[in-house]
Amino acid sequence: MPASYAGLRKEACGIREFFLYSVQEGLLFGILALGVFITFRCLNFPDLTVDGSYPLGAAVFALTMYRGYGPVAGVVSALAAGALAGLFTGILHTFSRIPALLSGILTMICLYSINLRIMGRPNISLSENLGHRTIFVILRDAFPTVPEVYVRFLFLFALLVVLKFLLDAFLQTEIGLSIRATGDNETLVATQGINPDDMKLIGISLSNALVALSGAMFAQYQGFVDINMGIGMVISGLASVIVGEVLLRGKTIFVMTLQVIVGSVVYRLATAVALNWGYSIGFKPYDLKLFTGILVIVILSFPVLKEKFGKA
């Protein structure tokens, strides 16, 4: 994964474009963060499949394009592949009774090889003439008079709004409610006649479908797929979720998914700023994961720190 597109492009554009690029990336990763939200927050299932299902989505998208199908087929295939990856993790956990973290890591490690198989080599380009254009190229050509950055921004914004409202609605359906109840109180769910394992399978699959979608969209955005683009994605997704929770208060579904999206955008802006501004103090793109790790650690430790040292 290139550390940040915004970071690379800053020189070439003004502050407004810099801002828009970061927000775009925030929206792209917001799709992934919504997926992470489903497992970590709704299901209470810390799913590490993400680091594998994100590049899986990108790889499957690329494969579909290389086989001569259009970007819509690519996106649908990516969604399906992500759901399958999630289902696999879910089965490891519910059927084989492997602990949640380990189930995710196992799928992730299997996916590394599978992704390489799909791609054929560690890095493939999407910008060559493939017979079909990627979604962003189609958009650019459709609105030749509007600057590309705005077209992309509006498209991604609309996409995320739609996804948010679909997810909000889903979480209030019978299955969605059962998934949330499973994450809260598995004993209760079983005494109310719901098989918690079924709900986990559905939730984890849906989550990874979104993650793979995010991967497929980002591959089109940057114009290539890299085997390592998934490294650390679960933590940056989690960072988005918890940054959002710090910034916005509220526990309704509407607010919670909004938190995720706002969190993702703010987190991307913060990393972009850190990269550009931090350049002068020797901050390098590869320091980004350390930055993210520390950010998550600080926010997660905050309640304890406040309790220990707050009122003293």
> Of 104-112, 173-181, 209-217, 304-312, which segment contacts other proteins by CB under 8 A?
173-181
Q: What is the DSSP secondary-structure string of 259-287?
A: HHHHHHHHHHHHHHHHHHHGGGGT--GGG
Residues 247-266 that bind other proteins (CB under 8 A): 251
Cβ distance to other proteins smaller for residue 159 or 177: 177
166 binds other proteins (CB under 8 A): no
Residue from 113, 195, 228, 301 touching other proteins (CB under 8 A): that is 195
Cβ distance to other proteins smaller for residue 181 or 248: 181
Give the integer Cα–Cα distance in Å for 57 and 262: 23
Residue from 193, 249, 281, 312 touching other proteins (CB under 8 A): that is 193
Phi and psi dihedrals of 97, rounded to 5? Answer: 60, 35
Cβ distance to other proteins smaller for residue 3 or 177: 177
Do residues 265 and 23 make contact, with C-beta atoms less than 8 angstroms apart?
yes
Cβ distance to other proteins smaller for residue 130 or 206: 206
> Of 1-9, 99-107, 178-186, 258-266, which segment contacts other proteins by CB under 8 A?
178-186
Cβ distance to other proteins smaller for residue 192 or 228: 192
> Of 6-14, 90-98, 169-177, 209-217, which segment contacts other proteins by CB under 8 A?
169-177
Number of residues this chain uses to bind other proteins (CB under 8 A): 25
Residue 177 tokens, joined: 């409610």
Q: Determine how β-strand 123-125 pairs with β-strand 224-226.
A: antiparallel
Give the integer Cα–Cα distance in Å for 51 and 53: 6
185 binds other proteins (CB under 8 A): yes
Do residues 15 and 287 make contact, with C-beta atoms less than 8 angstroms apart?
no
Do residues 82 and 56 make contact, with C-beta atoms less than 8 angstroms apart?
yes
CA torsion through residues 170, 173, 175, 177, sign: positive
191 binds other proteins (CB under 8 A): yes
Binding site for other proteins (CB under 8 A): 169-170, 172-178, 180-181, 183-185, 187-196, 251
